[in-house]
Amino acid sequence: MPRKSSVKYGLSNQGATCYLNSVLQVLFMTEDFRAAVERDKADTDCIDRHLATLFGVLKERTADTRGITGTLGINSVYEQQDAAEYFERILSLASPEASQIFRGLLTHRTTCCTCRAENETDGAFWHLPLALVDSCSEHYSVVDGVEEYFRASDFSGENQMYCEQCDAKSDATVECVMKRHPEVLMLLLKRFDFDYRYMTYVKINHTVNVPSTLQIPENQTYELYAVVDHFGDLRSGHYTAAVKDEERWYNFNDHRVTLLDDYSVDNFQR
Residue range 15-47, pLDDT digits in tens: 999 999 999 999 999 999 999 999 987 777 899
Whole-number pLDDT of residue 63 = 97
Q: How far is CA 45 from the centre of its chain?
A: 24
Q: Of 65, 26, 22, which is closest to residue 47 (Cα–Cα)?
A: 65
CA angle 266, 269, 270 (to 5 degrees): 140
Whole-number pLDDT of residue 131 = 83
What's the per-residue H, E or C state across 56-118? HHHCCCCECCHHHHHHCCCCCCCCCCCHHHHHHHHHHHCCHHHHCCCCEEEEEEEEECCCCCE
Whole-number pLDDT of residue 133 = 63
Whole-number pLDDT of residue 138 = 72
User: In angstroms, rounded to a whole number, what is the distance separating the alpha carbons of residues 108 and 127?
Assistant: 15
Query: Cβ-count burial of 44 within 10 angstroms (0-12 exposed, 13-18 middle, 19+ buried)?
Result: exposed
pLDDT in tens, 204-239: 777 888 899 999 988 899 999 999 998 887 667 899
Residues 6+ positions from 70 with CB-CB distance below 8 Å: none
Whole-number pLDDT of residue 32 = 96
The pLDDT-based confidence of 4 (bands split at 50, 70, 90) is very low
Whole-number pLDDT of residue 5 = 56
Is the per-residue pLDDT at 89 higher than 70?
yes
Q: Of 106, 20, 26, 31, which is closest to residue 66 (Cα–Cα)?
A: 20
pLDDT in tens, 131-189: 876 555 677 889 999 999 999 999 999 999 999 999 999 999 999 999 999 999 999 98
User: In angstroms, rounded to a whole number, what is the distance separating the alpha carbons of residues 30 and 227?
Assistant: 12
Which CATH number do you get for residue 179? Answer: 3.90.70.10
Domain boundaries, position 233? 4-268
Is the per-residue pLDDT at 1 higher than 90?
no
DSSP result, 124-186: EES-EEEEGGG-SSSEEEHHHHHHHHTS-EEE-GGG-EEETTTTEEE-EEEEEEEEE--SS--
Residues 6+ positions from 163 with CB-CB distance below 8 Å: 112, 114, 115, 117, 169, 170, 172
User: In angstroms, rounded to a whole number, what is the distance separating the alpha carbons of residues 92 and 132?
Assistant: 26
User: In angstroms, rounded to a whole number, what is the distance separating the alpha carbons of residues 229 and 64?
Assistant: 21
* 3-class secondary structure, 55: helix
Whole-number pLDDT of residue 164 = 93
Q: What mean pLDDT comes out for the span 59-84?
A: 94
The pLDDT-based confidence of 267 (bands split at 50, 70, 90) is very low
Whole-number pLDDT of residue 47 = 95
Is the per-residue pLDDT at 250 higher than 80?
yes
For the whole model, what pTM was predicted?
0.88
Mean pLDDT of the chain: 89
Is the per-residue pLDDT at 64 higher than 70?
yes
User: In angstroms, rounded to a whole number, what is the distance separating the alpha carbons of residues 12 and 45?
Assistant: 26
Helix, strand, coil abundance in the chain, percent, nearest 5: 25, 35, 40
How many folded domains does the chain comprise? 1
In this structure, are residues 65 and 90 in contact, taking their beta carbons and an 8 Å threshold? no
Whole-number pLDDT of residue 88 = 96
